[in-house]
Structure formats: C-alpha cells, structure tokens
Amino acid sequence: MDRDLSKTVKKACVTGGAGFIGSQVVRNLLARDIDVVVIDNLSVGRRENVPAAATLVEADILDSAVMDDIAGCDAVFHLAARVAIRSSFEFVVEDTTANVVGTANVLRGATRADSRVRKFILASSMAVYADSPQPTPISEDYTLQPVSPYGVSKLAAEMLVRQMCDQSGIDSAVLRLFNTYGRGQALSPYVGVATIFANAMREGRAPSIFGDGEQRRDFIHVEDVAQGFINAMLHPTEGKVFNIGSGQALTVNQVYSAIAQALNFDQPPVYAEAVPGELRNSIADNSRARQTIEFNPKHVFADTIAGVLEGVGGS
C-alpha cells in the first residue's frame, strides 16, 4: 500500500474535533483544502469551535452509526477521549469505556472491508509512562507503567491501534501528548493547569498547587501539537510512537509565577496534599518526532503565556 499521503488525503475524520486540540487540527486540515468530518458528542467540545467549512456529526464514538463517516475518510485523527488523570480513579468505568471501547469502535469503522482509511493517528498521553526519578527528558522507550487508570486506558488504546492497523495495512501513528496549553482551553478542575490558575487569579482567588509545586512538566503549545498531527499524516510512520512535547521542563511553581506576573496577581498559592496518579517528572525527549515527522515546536511558554491569557477568563 502506498503510504505517502502528502498529496492524496482528500477527506479526513477528526473524532473530538470540537475540542481544544481537535478543533485546531481541523483548522489545519481545512487550510490544506482537505474535507473534514468532525465526530463529537459535545460533552466537552463546543459547537462554536468547529469551523463552518467542516461537517459536524454530533455523535458518540461508541455509536456504531458513525462507522460510515469514519470508513469514508482517507485519514482518521482519533482525539475523542475522557481526559483527566485525577478523576480517573473515581470514573474508572466511564474512562475505560470511552478510551478503550470507544477506540475499538473507531478502529472497527476504519478497518472494515469497504473502508478507504489509509492513515490512523491516535492522541495518547504522557500518562502511559512510569514516573521518572530525575527531571530529565524521557524517550518513547521509557518504562510503560501508568500510575493512573487514565494512563492504563490510553496504553490499551495504543495497543489496539497498533494491532488492528498493522493487520489491516493501515499506516498508524501514536502521539503521546505532554501538557498542552493555549487559547481556547475549556476550564476543568482536572486538566489544563495554566487555565485553572488563570481563571482563579482573575476571580481574585489564590489557586491550589497539589504537592510542593516542584514537580516538573513539559508545556507544549496547542498550535505545535496540532502541527504534530498534520506532520504525522504527511510522513510514513509505520506504527511508531512519538512524544509531542517541547523538551523543556518547568516546575508548577514556575508556571504559577509566570501566570501571576502576567496577570499582576500578588497572592501566593495554596498548597494542598499531593494527589495519587500524578507524575513527579514528565518531560519529553522529542528527538524521534523531530527526525521522523519533522516536528519542530516553535512556541516557548515564557514568551507566549501572556498572549494565551488574553483569551482566558469568564468562560
């Protein structure tokens, strides 16, 4: 099978395409004159996030009725998922159903006999890795030992993608996303620390930091993440896994200080007990993505956070 899709993808499906990252992927696809079908149940995503040029199918990925929409596309970007590490202990059944069974259903549509799908790209997570004892970048070969049910569900989804796409001759890629930030991120008590901090500060409240705040994270701008998905479509990936991160470490305390400075907020954070399931150190070695799919993140957190915060607050 010809796996060079750079000029042959005419139609793409984006599950979760009304969400924070998915909608940016949709815009990038449309900019390449690719027809886009968005499948989203709008439980988190918003209708207004979907560009008018895209076709929105309001449906759940567990619904077998979406099979035709998936099978009729040249490429599938699977981003629909329940995304929350802390809450995944409480909602383990719901998360596993959406992230594992949902992925299996999307794959069933992509691999059926009359499908035209030739590329399948999964949004996975840094949560599949074991904790790192040192604040150094980890490669895709680092120990896979999730410390949360969410991480377990994403690792299972990865394995399904690899097995089913290999068997069906579909070129696949798994993108393990690190801490994504940017304008338009929905407020949630579980994900998007920059958005959580900024909203609290705008309301005059000191945000909580769980643990001592010295845990280190890799913050990657949503536009760089979306470009990673496009690049994974354009290059042969042969089932490989890619870290999508900046490769740079920031402590949560540093993130707090940067946002507080940008918003002229002068209160210290409220430190709370550390919660289970969160990694101490999570920093991407992105060299494989740089070499294989020409991933080249352009945004630096310190230089872009002020611009991001212009769009935060009140929603």
Core vs surface per residue 29-62: b (16+ CB within 10 A) or e:
bbeeebbbbbbbbeebbeeebbbeebebbebbbe
CA distance 179 to 161: 22
Q: Are strands 216-217 and 250-251 parallel, antiparallel or unpaired?
A: antiparallel
The residue written with tokens 């990657």 in the block is: 220
Residues annotated catalytic, as ranges: 150
Count each helix (H run) and each strand (E run) in the chain, helices first: 10, 14
CA distance 98 to 135: 32
The residue written with tokens 């959406």 in the block is: 98
Among residues 177, 154, 256, 246, the alpha carbon closest in space to that of 211 is found at 256
Tokens coding 189: 């008590």
Packing angle, helices 193-202 and 252-262, rounded to 10: 40
The residue written with tokens 């280190």 in the block is: 216
Under DSSP, the state recorded for 147 is S
The torsion of the CA quartet 39, 51, 46, 77, rounded to 10 degrees, works out to 40
DSSP per position, 177-232: E-EEE-TTPPP-SSS-HHHHHHHHHHTT-PPEEESSS--EE-EEEHHHHHHHHHHH
